[in-house]
Each structure stands twice: as structure tokens, then as C-alpha cells.
Amino acid sequence: MLELPDDLRGAFKEPLGPVFTDPATLLAADGAGRPLVAVGDVVTAHLLDAGRRPDVAVIDGHTEREPVAADVAATLPEPDVTVANPPATLSRELLDALVTALADAPAVVGVDGEEDLATLPAVLATPLGGAVVYGQPGEGMVLVPVTDASRATARDLLSRMTGDVDAALDVVE
């Protein structure tokens, strides 16, 4: 449905919110609302280890393009649904699964491919007052409180991808 053009990759290097290295500190932070959506295997494992099951987790069995460590994989719940989502894309299947998971929470969406870009539709689909947490390689976990401002940023980035942007926004907004 949508693909990340090469010239937009740099826009994703800057975190969309504050970065935390400790899940307990993240969970105590202002803006760590409900529902809580986790994008990434390691982030999901850290939240579970801290005693907080995400309302929705999006996992793909990898971190930084390598399979997750066995101890991380062992802590992750089995997906309720698995969808295809090739690298550097947002498939219709992933967008639909994310919206359904939010309606049916708690839920785990498994991704065959790559879940990295799921943060954008997660911010758009999560109700105001919720939060999305994703991993920032080499830095920690990024907390994105779902506000009008964070939605505007996610919408802007998603709108700059190639493909049927209007159809994607119809799914998640």
C-alpha cells in the first residue's frame, strides 16, 4: 500500500518523542497512557519484564535486522494474527490488523517481514491519550504520547510515502 522512498529515510532517524533506557521510568512518565501500543520485539519484551503487557504489540522476530535473542523471543507472547509486510513498506494487511488489534486489545500482531514503520499508523489509530512505544536503535525506547501534535507529525511522515496515502489514512484515522 505504501513504500518508504529513499529520500525520506533520514526523517525517521530523529525520535518522535523522549527516549528512555529503563522501562519502569518510561511507564511512570507523563504521557505513558492507555492504550499502550508497542512496536518491536525488544520494546515489547522490556515492557513485559517491567510488568506491563502492551494493549497491542507488533512484533516480527527481529531487532536491527537480526533475529532477536532466544531469551527475548521466549518472553514474547504468540501472535494472535500474522500479516505480511515487506521491509520499508506499510501493507494494507498490517494497517487492518493494527486497527483490529486496537479494537480487540489485548492483542499481538506478528509480522512476516518488517514492522519498523508500524509506529506511524499506530500513532494515528491509537485513541488520544494513548501512547506508542518503539525502539530507537542504539539509544533506547521512544515514548510517543498520542496527541493532536504527534498525530500531525505521523500523518505528515506517512503522507510523504509513496503509494495510496488516502486509502491508508482511511484505514487508520
**Rounded Cα distance, 121 and 118, in Å:** 6
Binding site residues, as ranges?
Answer: 41-43, 60, 115
Give me the residue label for grid cell 510488568: 51
Burial class (CB in 10 A: 0-12, 13-18, 19+), 133: buried
Binding site residues for GTP, as ranges?
Answer: 41-43, 60, 115
> Residues 6 or more apart from 127 whose CB is under 8 A from it?
35, 102, 146
